[in-house]
């Protein structure tokens, strides 16, 4: 990999100095400039166009989240790393939603920061070891959601119609009357839907139908 350029933004000079020393110890990394607040960080990203921006979450004028939102709005081509003392899963999820690929705790920053920068420069996600479980859980939830959506797409038009009517609290008898089919055919459709969506247990089908009502025709 060629030289990776970056900026560092943190309102504590000692933190910036420590990070810069750790980063510049690796010849593959080059710090272009430093910033002491979020607004200056955003200006530096626009001016220097670094590959990576290392941003403290808690900064004056604009916090890390505000900078990340502005980066998205301005469509600036930079990967972002958040530095924080917070070990909060919701904050990690919000950061990832904003396109932040790196999330490093300050108490492990000096040992994690180089690996993090190199990972995000390659387009990969990176989190301090104690936060990795948050990314794994997020990935698992995304995979489950994708599976559910793909399962709905596998349903026939009639099965989707039956599922929509189930979401309207219609009984099998009522569904049969509305679709002009037999009760037994409705029950077959229900069984096929459960099989395709891998739904098991009592009341699971109605719960699924209600949760995905907006996705049904």
pLDDT at position 132 is 55
146-170: average pLDDT: 79
- The architecture in CATH of the region 4-136 reads 3-Layer(aba) Sandwich (3.40)
* In the predicted structure, residue 162 carries a pLDDT above the cut 60: yes
Q: Rounded distance, CA 41 to CA 23, Å?
A: 18
pLDDT at position 213 is 79
Q: Rounded distance, CA 47 to CA 41, Å?
A: 10
* In the predicted structure, residue 146 carries a pLDDT above the cut 50: no
User: pLDDT tens for residues 35-57?
Assistant: 999 999 999 999 999 999 999 99
Contact between 27 and 2 under an 8 Å Cβ cutoff? The reply is no
Higher pLDDT, 150 or 112: 112
Q: Return the percent helix, strand and coil in the chain, to nearest 5.
A: 60, 15, 25
The total number of residues shown for the chain amounts to 217
Phi, psi of 80 (to 5 degrees): -120, 145
C-alpha pair distances (Å), 23 with each of 16, 68, 114, 186, 191: 10, 22, 6, 64, 58
- Chain-wide mean pLDDT for the chain? 86
User: pLDDT tens for residues 64-123?
Assistant: 999 999 999 999 999 999 998 876 777 777 887 888 899 898 888 898 999 999 999 999
pLDDT at position 197 is 84
Q: How many CB atoms lie within 10 A of CB 206?
A: 13
Contact between 151 and 198 under an 8 Å Cβ cutoff? The reply is yes
- The architecture in CATH of the region 147-215 reads Orthogonal Bundle (1.10)
150-172: average pLDDT: 85
Contact between 146 and 187 under an 8 Å Cβ cutoff? The reply is no
Domain extent listing, the chain: 4-136, 147-215
Q: Which of 13-22, 50-59, 139-148 shows the lowest mean pLDDT across its residues?
A: 139-148
24's tokens? 């510049």
């Amino acid at each position: 990999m060629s030289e990776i350029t970056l900026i560092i933004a943190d309102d504590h000079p000692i933190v910036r100095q420590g990070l810069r020393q750790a980063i510049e110890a690796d010849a593959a990394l080059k710090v272009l400039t430093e910033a002491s607040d979020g607004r200056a960080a955003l200006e530096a990203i626009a001016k220097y166009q670094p590959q990576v921006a290392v941003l403290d979450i808690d900064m004056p004028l604009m916090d890390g989240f505000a900078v990340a939102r502005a980066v998205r709005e301005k469509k600036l081509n930079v990967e972002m790393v958040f530095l924080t003392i917070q070990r909060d899963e919701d904050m990690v999820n919000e950061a990832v939603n904003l396109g932040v690929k790196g999330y490093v705790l300050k108490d492990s920053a000096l040992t994690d920061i180089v690996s993090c920068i190199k990972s995000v420069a390659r387009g990969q996600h990176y989190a301090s070891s104690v936060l990795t479980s948050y990314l794994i859980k997020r990935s698992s939830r995304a995979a489950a959601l994708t599976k559910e959506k793909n399962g709905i797409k596998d349903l026939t038009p009639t099965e989707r119609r039956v599922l929509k009517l189930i979401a309207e609290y219609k009984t099998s008898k009522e569904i049969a009357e509305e679709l002009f089919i037999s009760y037994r055919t409705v029950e077959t459709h229900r069984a096929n839907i459960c099989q395709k969506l891998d739904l098991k247990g009592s009341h699971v089908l109605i719960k699924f139908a209600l949760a995905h009502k907006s996705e049904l025709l």
